Amino acid sequence: MKAFIIERYGNKDRLSAAEMPEPELRDDDVLVQIYAAGVNPLDSKIRDGEFKLILPYRLPLILGNDLAGVVVRVGSRVRRFQPGDEVYARPDADRIGAFAELISIREASLAHKPTNLSMEEAASIPLVGLTAWQALIEMAKLKKGQKVLIHAGSGGVGAFAIQLAKHIGATVATTTGTSNVDWVKRLGADIVIDYRKNDFEKVLRDYDVVLNSLGADVLKKSLQVLKPGGRLISISGPPDPAFAKEHGASWFLRLVMRLLSYRIRKNATRRRVNYSFLFMKASGEQLREITTLIESGAIYPIVERVFPFESTKEAMAYVETGRAKGKVVVKVK
């Protein structure tokens, strides 16, 4: 099958097209023919080796972290799916590979595709949808009437998280550039901070939750907008001891992550707020919840550009510019 792989960690030149063997189908796996795959900043970070200590992939590695497609075959223990079903998923972190014609996915990580979405639209959802769900619903337990700041509201995670938070009934603030202010308001943001004109930490106060996807400087400033007992959740790091423990890291990696997050955790404690790092995990069950919201019209996908499969490298380069509104997708079939 055709796929886009890396044989060594490094920069954008490491990604190349290749012929790869069909994936193995285990008893609880579903073999999916991929029609479309989402492109995420995570793909570039994995390619560059940023997660090689946490996720020791075997090279050559097929990149790609979310997809939509059609079931080809199912393992002997699979009960929820059958050949011909239209599905979507974020594969388990140790079994990625959406930039390919076929992928084998655990049944528990897969969900039926929303009936009102195209394959390209569906492929844009799993990673950002599950990230927003696990941050706001699972970790923050966001409630109606609470206040949440979602950084980078025009990005893939931000655009989904704004819609999810508004569906819950929260007051939503977000940061974005000048050209996207009106656009994120249409997504549902109540308060929009143009980062080119204003400092969010000087405008916002007494927030219950902050979802951060930006750098260390924004992370530190985000502490200032939270009220005592508030939660700062970051998907861009640094990893914390709880994350290390959950992923069964070695004592050395636990020490490294403790040191990396020491400063932000100390500052959070001083301000009487909680800091958590989130590395989203695959979940077919949560995707089914998200499907219900999409089919009801509460949330809709944002796809800015669709690239042909042979232009996967260019699609990744476009995402790396940071200018994409919502998601970028490659059309595989």
Q: Supply the DSSP symbol for 314.
A: H
Q: What is the DSSP string of 145-189?
A: T-EEEESSTTBHHHHHHHHHHHHHT-EEEEEE-GGGHHHHHHHT-
Half-sphere exposure of 190 (CA within 13 A, CB side): 14
Q: How far apart are CA 58 and CA 73, in angstroms?
A: 25
User: What are the residue boundaries of the structural domains of the chain, listed by start?
Assistant: 2-125+301-331, 127-277
Report d(CA 181, CA 16) in Å as an integer. Answer: 37
Q: What is the DSSP string of 202-215?
A: HH--SEEEEEE-S-
pLDDT of 154-207, one tens digit each? 999 999 999 999 999 999 999 999 999 999 999 999 999 999 999 999 999 999
Residue 32 and residue 102 in contact, taking contact as beta carbons nearer than 8 Å: yes
- State the pLDDT at residue 252: 81
Residue type for position 210: V
Task: Give the model's pLDDT for residue 174.
Answer: 98
pLDDT of residue 30: 98
d(CA 279, CA 235) in angstroms, rounded, equals 6
Instruction: Note the CATH number of domain 127-277.
Output: 3.40.50.720
Per-residue pLDDT of the chain (333 residues; tens, 9 = 90+): 999 999 999 887 889 999 999 999 999 999 999 999 999 999 999 999 988 877 889 999 999 999 999 999 999 999 999 999 999 999 999 999 999 999 999 999 999 999 999 999 999 999 999 999 999 999 999 999 999 999 999 999 999 999 999 999 999 999 999 999 999 999 999 999 999 999 999 999 999 999 999 999 999 999 999 999 999 999 998 888 888 777 777 888 888 888 888 899 999 999 999 999 999 999 999 999 999 999 999 999 999 999 999 999 999 999 999 888 999 999 999
Strands 15-19 and 29-39: unpaired
Q: Does domain 2-125+301-331 have CATH number 3.90.180.10?
A: yes
Amino acid in position 172: V
- Res 245: pLDDT: 79
| CB neighbour burial string for 7-32, b if at least 16 within 10 angstroms, e if fewer | eebeeeebbeeeebeebebeeebbbb
* Contact present, 109 and 89 (Cβ < 8 Å): yes
